[in-house]
């Protein structure tokens, strides 16, 4: 079970969190013309990188904050966690 | 039967407490402190089971966790448990156990015929034999394999035992309480670290319990006892016996299974049977020791062939002789301790040592004691079927290829030692890249991946002095790293006998023209010839050889067989062992009972049960409940002999005619506050929200980014910057996460806060033509005319002194209101509604009537918003704003979502106006068309229309818009129904929506 450092609550076990998908995806801004391809990439297309990856986790049974977690998808090593408003 | 193999005085058992037990129906006696294995051996019982494939007689091979044979079916306190190792099961009064994998009995087993047909059971037998004809698999092969496979029988009864989970944190977890574990624990504990010391066995001390060594001027065993006693007194130390650390998971999470009550006749009150510990350790010290490995020879599975260390443990711990004419067959010094122990107890062993005249202190001692030693001698095969009667031995050449003349020697047991294999399972599970140590012919931990350190014989150190000094040092260093303390205790003086090198020899060659079975894997019956066959057939990867032959795949996971298997593969392949590699070690190290894994999360405890504040009222009034997610909701209120149909019909009719009240507490409620709340809602919902005035509610639909409808509900503007959102019961949690996602990640610039208030408000929906009159009586000073509180209006009032929120919203399609009060007043509110509503013939209604009412009104709900539909499909396209952007809007431009003939919700009425249409039925053009009959749509919800007194359904139908008036068939092959139907508007009742505004 992963041990995730919530920027608000400290180190907490994985079972307090819900996985929230790829943390590198950026939603196109509202009211902006978006090509089909761009929209497709946002909604459907995800990479499945081997190694370092930025993910979203939701501290659902804790402070209810969405956080960004940089994790190695092979070794599960967590390098860094930041609050939602920060970039990794 | 008397304990004829019990010594008179040695051992660490309590001879004052005699214990009776039953094995295969027969009564025996043992002592407190025995295991089932030691007690059986004390009674001279060697035959305990039959082997997996050939049903060969099997006895005891080990004395603990590595035991491959002695798997028994246990009966304890009227519960039966399969696959219990007799070598681990402690004896208690009244214990009952029986042999497995034999029929009709362990002495006469019909399956043993396999032994003589073994030509037909080679490696990969199942793959080769059961391939064809295909039809035989289901009828003949599978039932045969099912019957033949497996050992014990699982109980079909509900397990009444209690299992617990515990979460624990510590600075240092130490797995194993042998000399290494004790030293590390002591040094770390003295330096202030929070330590957990786990020992799988009931007794602490590991090898110190059976070895002849001195530590700090006392025997190893006394030293262990002293250290344990001291550790137990320390507040920063937790010491646990009967506790197996079986898994090393990510981020230094280890799982340990504690057998709290398995050694007792009955679990004590308020105590679990087993406890599973989830331990997050800052550092882990692995002191799991090593397991003796056998030397492979002919018929080496005969009962009476036993590991030399196990024979020694039976002698020293239990005072039991595994035989009275022992042969000790070894390639190293450690087995000499076993021989010496026999000798000291008046038994004359013979040592066969594969080495050519080795010299060491312990060999000298054996010689001086007058023990007969034959150097360069090996056991070629064991003789005897159900028990060793003699052995064929021979001189072996120095290159270990040629045997001399075969001699026969009488014996009743063969104690075998092929040197030691470090128990590296935990280290390997943590991600440690293990390496092969040529000196000990085994794998040892290499570079640590997580915060783990391996010490003692688990790391390949077989010298006690080095083990103790390095373990003290590691315990000190690791604790210093964590606590920053610097209290170093020095390691004690150690005196032990020095051993010389072992012989790199593991398998006795076959004599000419003999074809003895030489077993590698004792539990799965894998022989040397099976591995050779697999290699001849082209299997190369050790992982493939393992799966093809099942080597190491039994419940003992190859603890005694893996390394010999690797040796064989490397010999045949002419490779060195490290390049063959080992198979992956995976948790659990030992079998863990399912009960322990599940813990308390069973039955009602598997998930929380959510109840509304009015729950007890519903119970008292004959509500029949239904699960709605975790909630329990009244499905209907039973009157007299009514069933679901009659009761829900009565309740729904009463809503249409008079007034009904429904508990809607379960609806998700989210409080939304902030100056940008309107803008936020405008982005979340498909329709316009910026101009909603204070005191007004609005129905809204929200989409996922892919354009699919996520949820619907009403949101009310309570004050300028304060909204009250409702969601469906099912989606409440998801909607909250969804809102938080957008506020925290996508639009952090919006000044809005959201919080769930589902449990803070109790809700009651009051619906029906007389609801206005009822509301007027409940709130006499409020104006409930269409001017005072119009449809979709909101106001607040005092319900007999209790502050209440009043919404004029309707799900039933009738004139209706919804009241919210703080949860603590929920029951008060409900009782007042029922009491005051009496004169208006009020009746409570459940979810079934609620569904009926919404279905015949054509209001979509969960069965239509099923995660596959866009707003158009649900007839909600009118709520999709063309002017503003919102979540998921861009996706609605997809070709498929804009198709002219897209599916859409419609009403469905059976032509005979009698036959109810099962939900899930398919709508097709022709009832008897050739399969696959093209599906045009499906029935999403069905009810009995109380308005028209005939069945009515909703369906999602292809080109639904243009299908009104068409005749189709509703097919339900599952219910064997084919119903001619007519497609009508989904708004079956009050299509203009006049009643809600009346």
| pLDDT tens-digit series, residues B64-101 | 999 999 999 999 988 899 889 999 999 999 999 999 87
By the 8 A CB rule, do B10 and B315 touch?
yes
Residue B128 has pLDDT above 70, yes or no: no
Q: Is B575 on the interface with A (CB under 8 A)?
A: no
pLDDT tens-place string over residues B263-317: 999 999 999 999 999 999 999 999 999 999 999 999 999 999 999 999 999 999 9
User: Which residues are registered as beta bridge partners of B372?
Assistant: B350
Which among B868, B686, B711, B740 is positioned nearest to A20, based on CA atoms? Answer: B740
- Give tens-digit pLDDT for B681-706: 999 999 999 999 999 999 999 999 99
Of A13, A60, A85, the CB nearest to B748: A85
User: Residue B831's pLDDT is what?
Assistant: 98
- Residue range B248-276: mean pLDDT, rounded: 97
Residue A43 to residue B278, Cβ atoms within 8 A: no
Shortest Cα–Cα distance, A40 to chain B (Å): 9
Contact B284, B181 (CB under 8 A): no
Classify residue B601: in a domain, yes or no: no
Q: Which chain B residue has its CA at the smallest distance from A3's CA? A: B251
- Token readout for B635 is 């499905």
What's the pLDDT at B136?
A: 67
Q: Grade residue B143 by pLDDT with cuts at 50, 70 and 90.
A: low
Q: Evaluate if residue B176 carries a pLDDT over 80.
A: yes
Instruction: Provide CB contacts within 8 A for B719, sequence distance 6+.
Output: B694
Residue from B167, B170, B251 to probe the interface with A (highest A Cβ count within 10 Å): B251
B819 and B949, same domain (yes or no): no
Same domain, B753 and B763: no
Domain containing B934 — which CATH number?
2.40.30.110
Does the distance separating the beta carbons of A42 and B745 come in below 8 Å?
no
User: How much of chain B, in percent, has pLDDT values that exceed 90?
Assistant: 85
Residue B983 domain flag: yes
| Same-domain status, B392 and B302 | yes
The CATH number linked to B253 is 3.50.50.60
Instruction: Kindly state whether residues B903 and B952 are assigned to the same domain.
Output: yes
Any domain includes B658: yes
- Angle at which helix B464-483 crosses helix B179-190, to 10 degrees, equals 30
- The nearest CA of chain A is from the CA of B253 a distance in Å of 6
- Judged against a pLDDT cut of 80, whether residue B114 lies above it is answered with no
CB-nearest partner of B744 from A42, A60, A66:
A66
Q: Helices in B513-639 by DSSP H: which ranges?
A: 528-536, 542-549, 562-573, 577-580, 594-598, 615-620
Average pLDDT over residues B627-653: 97
- Of B986, B712, B698, B696, which is closest to residue B857 (Cα–Cα)? B986
CATH number of the structural domain spanning residue B673: 3.30.70.1400
What three-state secondary structure class fits B755? strand
Rounded Cα distance between B709 and B868, Å, is 8
Residue B267: closest CA among B161, B124, B158: B161
What CA–CA distance (Å, rounded) separates B203 from B221? Answer: 11
What 3-state class would DSSP assign to B469?
helix
Mean pLDDT within B232-237? 98
Domains and CATH numbers, chain A: 3-83 (3.30.2270.10)
Pairwise CA distance, residues B132 & B136, whole Å? 7
- B719 and B803 together in one domain: no
Subunit contact B746:A27, Cβ cutoff 8 A: yes
Classify residue B525: in a domain, yes or no: yes
Per DSSP, helices labelled H in B824-980 are: 826-837, 847-857, 895-898
CA distance B942 to B907: 10
Answer positive or negative: Cα dihedral of B589, B467, B242, B291: positive
ipTM of the complex: 0.98
Mean pLDDT on B614-628: 97
Task: Considering only CA atoms, give the Rg of chain B.
Answer: 38
Residues B118 and B245 in one domain: no
Residue B149 scores a pLDDT above 60: no
Task: Determine the average pLDDT of the residues in B955-978.
Answer: 96
pLDDT exceeds cutoff 90 at B633: yes
Contacts of B116 (CB under 8 A, 6+ apart): none
Question: B432 vs B19, B256, B445, B450, B715, CA distance in Å?
Answer: 45, 19, 6, 8, 55
Contact status, residue B37 vs residue B63, Cβ threshold 8 Å:
yes
Give contacts of A84 with chain B, Cβ < 8 Å: 744-745, 748
d(CA B486, CA B640): 79
Instruction: Mark yes or no for CB contact A56/B745 under 8 Å.
Output: yes
Write down which residue in B90, B125, B158 finishes a domain.
B158
- A interface test, pick of B744, B887, B889, B892 with most A CB neighbours within 10 Å: B744
User: Coil, strand or helix: which one is B138?
Assistant: helix
The vertex-B315 CA angle with B312 and B316, nearest 5°, equals 85
CA angle B363–B364–B370, rounded 5-degree value? 95
Three-state secondary structure call for residue B992: coil
HSE-CB at B359 with a 13 A cutoff on CA atoms is: 0
Q: How far apart are CA B948 and CA B933, in angstroms?
A: 32
**Rounded to 10 degrees, what is the CA torsion of B903, B908, B910, B913?**
-170
Backbone angles phi, psi at B524, to 5 degrees: -100, 10
Give me the pLDDT at residue B298, please.
Answer: 97
Q: Tabulate helix, strand, coil % of chain A (nearest 5).
A: 10, 40, 50
CB contact at 8 A, B95 and B21:
yes
Residues near B809 by Cβ (< 8 Å), separated by ≥ 6? B697, B699, B714, B792, B816, B817, B818
- Shared domain for B265 and B169, answered yes or no, is yes
Angle between helices B220-233 and B179-190 (to 10 degrees): 40
Q: d(Cα B14, Cα B770) in Å, to the nearest integer?
A: 82
Structural domain boundaries, residue B952 = 899-997
Report residue B777 as tokens: 């009586």
Give the CA diameter of chain A: 42
Q: Is B250 on the interface with A (CB under 8 A)?
A: yes
Length reported for chain A: 88
Task: Give B-chain residues touching A43 at CB under 8 angstroms.
Answer: 705-706, 891
Give the pLDDT confidence of B95-105 residue by residue, as tens digits.
999 998 776 67
Does residue B618 sit in the same domain as residue B764?
Answer: yes
Structure confidence at residue B179 (pLDDT): 98
Q: Are residues B337 and B356 in the same domain?
A: yes
DSSP result, B641-672: T--HHHHHHHHHHHHHHS-EEEE-TTSEEEEE
Helix (H, G, I), strand (E, B) or coil at B328: strand
Q: According to the model, what pLDDT value does residue B584 have?
A: 79
Identify the DSSP state of B324. S
Q: What does the buried/exposed string (b/e) look like for B684-706 if buried means 16 or more CB atoms within 10 Å of the residue's CB?
A: bbbbbbeebeebbbbbbbbbbbb
Judge residue B888's burial from the number of C-beta atoms within 10 Å of its C-beta, 0-12 exposed, 13-18 middle, 19 or more buried: buried
Does B494 fall in a domain?
no
Rounded CA-CA distance B230/B220 in Å is: 15
Residue B541 pLDDT > 90, yes or no? no
Residue B492 lies inside a defined structural domain of this protein: no
CA distance B971 to B925: 10
Could you read off the pLDDT of B304-337 as tens digits, one per residue?
A: 999 999 999 999 999 999 999 999 999 999 999 9
Residue B195, beta-bridge partner list = B172, B237
Q: What confidence category does residue B118 fall into, taking pLDDT thresholds of 50, 70 and 90?
A: low
Q: Are B523 and B556 in contact (CB under 8 A)?
A: yes
B491 lies in some domain:
no
Q: Do A85 and B885 touch (CB under 8 A)?
A: no
> B706 to chain A, minimum CA–CA distance in Å?
6
From CA B700, how far away is CA B687, in angstroms rounded? 7
Specify the pTM.
0.90
Strand intervals (E) in chain A:
3-6, 10-13, 18-22, 52-58, 66-72, 78-83
% of chain B beyond a pLDDT of 70: 95
Cβ contacts of B448 on chain A, cutoff 8 Å = none
Nearest C-alpha neighbor of B223 from the set B175, B182, B176, B174: B182
* Number of separate helices (H) and strands (E) present in chain B: 24, 50
**Does B191 share its domain with B324?**
no
B7 and B139 fall within a common domain: yes
Q: Are B232 and B241 in contact (CB under 8 A)?
A: no
Lowest mean pLDDT among A35-44, B127-136, B384-393: B127-136
Least confident of B132-136, B240-244, B570-574: B132-136
Within a domain: B594? no
CB contact under 8 A, B251 and A1: yes
B894-908 core/surface letters (b: 16 or more CB in 10 A; e: else): beebeeeebbbbbbb
| CA-based nearest distance A33→chain B, Å | 9
The answer to whether A43 contacts B449, with C-beta atoms less than 8 Å apart, is no
pLDDT digits (tens, 9 = 90+) for B510-539: 999 999 999 999 988 899 999 999 999 998
Contact B630, B607 (CB under 8 A): yes
| B166: its two tokens | 């515990």
Give the per-residue pLDDT at B106: 72
Please name the member of A3, A18, A31 whose beta carbon is closest to the beta carbon of B280. Answer: A3
**Residue B120 pLDDT:** 59
Q: What is the CATH number of the domain that holds B553?
A: 1.10.10.1100
Using the beta-carbon criterion (under 8 Å), do A31 and B885 form an inter-chain contact? yes
Element holding B189 (H helix, E strand) = helix B179-190
Contact B807, B795 (CB under 8 A): no
Is the pLDDT at B141 greater than 70, yes or no?
A: no
A39 vs B890: CB contact, 8 Å cut-off? yes
- Residues of chain A found within 8 Å of residue B280, distances taken between Cβ atoms: 3, 13
Helix count and strand count (H, E) for chain A: 1, 6
pLDDT value, residue B145: 61
* Of A43, A75, A84, Cβ closest to residue B891: A43
Cα Rg of chain A (Å, integer): 14
Is the pLDDT assigned to residue B1 strictly greater than 70? no
SS3 B335: helix
Under DSSP, the state recorded for B141 is I
Structure tokens, B61: 């091979």
Q: State residue B509's pLDDT score.
A: 96
Please report residues of B whose CB lies closer than 8 A to that of A20. 741
Confidence category of residue B107, pLDDT binned at 50, 70, 90: confident
Structure tokens at B245: 């650390």
How many angstroms away from the CA of B736 is the closest CA of chain A? 10
Measure in Å the smallest separation between the Cα of A66 and chain B Cα atoms: 7
What confidence category does residue B122 fall into, taking pLDDT thresholds of 50, 70 and 90? low
B953 and B906 both lie in a single domain: yes
Q: Which of B672, B213, B251 is nearest to B466 (CA)?
A: B213
Taking CB atoms and an 8 Å cutoff, what residues of chain A touch B890? 28, 34, 39
- Using CA atoms, how far apart are residues B820 and B585, in angstroms rounded to an integer? 58
Instruction: Give the mean model confidence (pLDDT) for residues A66-85.
Output: 96
Overall number of domains in chain B: 7
Q: What are the residues whose beta carbons fall under 8 Å from the beta carbon of B118, sequence distance 6 or more?
A: B54, B517
Q: Share the mean pLDDT of chain B.
A: 94
- CA pair distance B517, B529, nearest whole angstrom: 8
Tell how strand B660-663 and strand B843-844 pair up. parallel
Q: What pLDDT is stored for residue B625 in this prediction?
A: 98
């Amino acid at each position: 079970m992963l041990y995730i450092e919530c920027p608000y609550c400290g180190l907490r076990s994985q079972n307090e969190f819900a996985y929230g998908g790829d943390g590198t995806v950026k939603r196109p801004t509202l009211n902006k013309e978006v090509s089909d391809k761009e929209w497709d990439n946002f909604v459907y297309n995800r990479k499945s990188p081997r190694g370092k990856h930025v993910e979203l986790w939701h501290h659902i049974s804790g402070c209810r904050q969405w956080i960004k977690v940089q994790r190695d998808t092979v070794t599960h090593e967590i390098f860094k966690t930041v609050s939602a408003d920060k970039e990794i | 039967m008397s304990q004829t193999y019990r010594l008179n005085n040695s051992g660490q058992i309590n001879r004052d407490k005699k214990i009776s037990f039953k094995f295969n129906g027969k009564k025996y006696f043992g002592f407190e402190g025995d295991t089932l294995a030691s007690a059986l051996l004390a009674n001279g019982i060697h035959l305990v089971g039959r082997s997996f494939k050939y049903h060969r007689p099997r006895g005891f091979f080990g004395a603990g966790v590595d035991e491959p044979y002695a798997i028994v079916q246990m009966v304890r306190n009227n519960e039966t448990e399969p696959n219990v190792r007799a070598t681990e099961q402690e004896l208690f009064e009244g214990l009952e156990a029986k042999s497995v994998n034999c029929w009709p009995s362990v002495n006469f087993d019909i399956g043993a015929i396999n032994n003589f047909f073994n030509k037909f059971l080679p490696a990969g037998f199942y793959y080769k034999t059961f391939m064809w004809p295909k039809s035989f698999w289901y009828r003949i092969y599978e039932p045969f394999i099912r019957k033949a496979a497996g050992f014990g029988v699982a109980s079909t009864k509900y397990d009444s035992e209690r299992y617990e989970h515990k979460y624990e944190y510590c600075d240092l977890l130490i797995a194993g309480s042998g000399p290494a574990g004790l030293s590390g624990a002591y040094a770390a504990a003295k330096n202030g670290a929070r330590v957990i010391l786990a020992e799988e066995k009931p007794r602490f001390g590991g090898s110190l319990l059976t070895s002849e060594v001195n530590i700090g001027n006392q025997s190893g065993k006394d030293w262990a006892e002293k250290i344990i006693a001291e550790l137990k007194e320390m507040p920063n130390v937790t010491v646990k016996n009967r506790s197996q650390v079986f898994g090393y998971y990510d981020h230094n999470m280890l799982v340990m299974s504690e057998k709290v009550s398995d050694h007792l006749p009955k679990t004590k009150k308020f105590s679990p049977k087993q406890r599973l510990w989830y331990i997050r350790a800052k550092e882990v010290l692995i002191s799991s020791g090593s397991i003796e490995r056998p030397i492979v020879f002919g018929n080496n599975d005969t009962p009476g062939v036993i590991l030399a260390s196990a024979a020694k443990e039976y002698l020293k711990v239990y005072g039991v002789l595994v035989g009275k004419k022992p042969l000790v067959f070894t390639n190293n010094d450690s087995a000499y301790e076993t021989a010496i122990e026999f000798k000291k107890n008046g038994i004359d062993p013979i040592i066969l040592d594969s080495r050519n005249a080795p010299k060491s202190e312990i060999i000298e001692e054996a010689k001086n004691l007058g023990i007969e030693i034959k150097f360069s001698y090996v056991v070629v095969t064991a003789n005897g079927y159900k028990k060793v009667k003699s052995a064929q031995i021979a001189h072996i050449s120095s290159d270990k290829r040629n045997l001399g003349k075969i001699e026969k020697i009488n014996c009743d047991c063969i104690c075998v030692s092929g040197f030691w294999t470090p128990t590296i399972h935990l280290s390997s599970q943590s991600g440690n890249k293990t390496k092969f140590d040529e000196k000990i012919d085994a794998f040892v931990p290499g570079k640590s991946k997580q915060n783990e350190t391996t010490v003692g014989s688990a790391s390949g150190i077989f010298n006690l002095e080095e083990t103790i000094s390095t373990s003290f040092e590691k315990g000190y260093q690791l604790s210093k790293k964590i606590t920053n303390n610097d209290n170093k205790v020095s390691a004690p003086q150690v005196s032990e006998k020095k051993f010389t090198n072992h012989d790199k020899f593991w398998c006795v060659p076959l004599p000419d023209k003999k074809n003895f079975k030489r077993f590698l894997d004792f539990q799965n019956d894998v022989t040397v010839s099976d591995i050779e066959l697999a290699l001849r057939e082209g299997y190369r990867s050790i992982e493939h050889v393992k799966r093809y032959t099942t080597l190491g795949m039994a419940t003992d996971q190859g603890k005694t067989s893996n390394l010999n298997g690797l040796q064989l593969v490397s010999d045949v392949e002419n490779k060195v062992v490290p390049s063959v590699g080992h198979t992956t070690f995976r948790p659990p190290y030992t079998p863990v009972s399912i009960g322990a894994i599940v813990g308390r999360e069973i039955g009602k405890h598997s998930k929380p049960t959510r109840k509304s504040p009015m729950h007890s009222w519903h119970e008292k009034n004959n509500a029949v409940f239904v699960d709605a997610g975790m909630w329990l909701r009244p499905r209907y209120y039973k009157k007299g002999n009514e069933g679901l149909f009659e009761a829900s019909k009565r309740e729904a009719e009463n809503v249409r005619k008079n007034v009904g009240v429904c508990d809607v507490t379960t609806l998700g409620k989210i409080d939304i506050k902030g100056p940008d709340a309107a803008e936020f809602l405008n982005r979340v919902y498909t329709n316009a929200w910026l101009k909603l005035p204070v005191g007004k509610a609005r129905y809204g639909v929200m989409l996922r980014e892919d354009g699919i409808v996520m949820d619907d509900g009403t949101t009310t503007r309570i004050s300028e910057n304060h909204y009250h959102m409702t969601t469906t019961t099912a989606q409440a949690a998801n909607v909250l996460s969804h809102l938080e996602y957008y506020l925290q990640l996508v639009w952090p610039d919006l000044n809005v806060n959201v919080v769930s208030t589902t449990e803070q408000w109790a809700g009651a929906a009051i619906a029906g033509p007389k609801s206005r009159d009822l509301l007027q009586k409940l709130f006499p000073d409020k104006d409930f005319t269409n001017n005072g509180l119009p449809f979709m209006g909101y106001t607040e009032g005092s319900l007999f002194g209790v502050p209440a929120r009043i919404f004029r919203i309707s799900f039933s399609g009738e004139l209706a209101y919804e009241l919210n009060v703080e949860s603590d007043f929920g029951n008060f509110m409900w009782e007042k509604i029922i009491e005051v509503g009496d004169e208006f013939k009020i009746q409570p209604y459940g979810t079934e009537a609620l569904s009926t009412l919404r279905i015949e009104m054509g209001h979509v709900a969960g069965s239509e918003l099923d995660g596959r539909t866009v707003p158009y499909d649900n007839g909600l396209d009118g709520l999709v704003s063309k002017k503003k952007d919102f979540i998921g809007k861009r996706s609605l431009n997809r070709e498929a979502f804009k198709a002219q003939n897209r599916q859409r919700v419609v009403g469905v009425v059976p032509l005979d106006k009698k036959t109810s249409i099962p939900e899930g039925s398919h709508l097709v053009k022709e009832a008897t068309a050739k399969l696959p009959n093209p599906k045009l749509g499906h029935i999403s919800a069905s009810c009995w229309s109380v308005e028209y007194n005939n069945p009515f359904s909703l369906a999602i139908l292809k080109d639904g818009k243009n299908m009104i008036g068409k005749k189709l068939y509703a097919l339900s092959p599952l219910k064997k129904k084919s119903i001619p139907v007519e497609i009508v508007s989904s708004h079956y009742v009050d299509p203009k929506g006049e009643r809600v505004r009346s």
